[in-house]
Amino acid sequence: MLDCRTIYYKNGQKECEESDHGKEITKWYENGQKKSKQSEDWYGSKIITKWYEDGNKKYEESDRGRKFTKWYENGQKEHEESDRGGSIDKWYKDGTKKYTEHESRTGDVDITEWHANGTKKYVKFLKRGMITNSIREVSWDSRGRITSELESEDINESSFSWKTLSFSGSLIKNVVIVITAPFWIPIFIFFILLSWAIRFIEFILTDL
């Protein structure tokens, strides 16, 4: 027999029902509409579901696949995210797509964002490689005009890495090249110069 504890509103409507054995908690609004439900299976996975007072689903989260979904009060899906697939999707209240993000198993990332009128607002592509990481970003205004662009590339080798960036906005375009090196490179060069200096001094002393 289940060990349950039940709580009621003053009007006699059930407010909360809890089952320790079944690891399940259910709550209701005062009008009798289900408010939330939390359950846990024998493996410890939890599922949480919440509803608006009018009966439309509000929120759902599951440990299985680490996925959660959120809805607007009008029933339109607002946010959906899954860690297993590495994906995030968002919508405006009218159902227009707002944002999407996907990460592949190799770490590549694609991000797209839209204005409320349906035109693209922003895109980002991140490509990861064994040697090269490249990024491309573009932004648009609500009329579909490009407001900025950014392209970058990281090339990592055993000794040096360098990055090339290009940015354009309105009528301006700049190209920036940044060169970096691991911290041990300056030290290595210092000892080479020191070695040459010692050899030069030894050469001078020998002639004397």
The pLDDT value given to residue 151: 81
The pLDDT value given to residue 189: 73
Ranges of H-type helices in the chain: 184-207
Does the pLDDT value for residue 166 go beyond 50?
Answer: no
pLDDT digits (tens, 9 = 90+) for 93-126: 999 999 999 998 888 999 999 999 999 999 999 9
Concatenating the DSSP letter of every residue in 152-207 gives EEEEE-SS-EEEEEEEEETTEEEEEEEEE--THHHHHHHHHHHHHHHHHHHHHHHH
Contacts of 29 (CB under 8 A, 6+ apart): 35, 53
140 sits in which H/E element: strand 132-140
The pLDDT value given to residue 180: 52
Q: What pTM was estimated for this model as a whole? A: 0.69
Does the pLDDT value for residue 157 go beyond 50?
Answer: no
pLDDT digits (tens, 9 = 90+) for 24-81: 899 999 999 999 999 887 777 888 999 999 999 999 998 876 789 999 999 999 999 9
Q: Report d(CA 131, CA 133) in Å as an integer.
A: 7
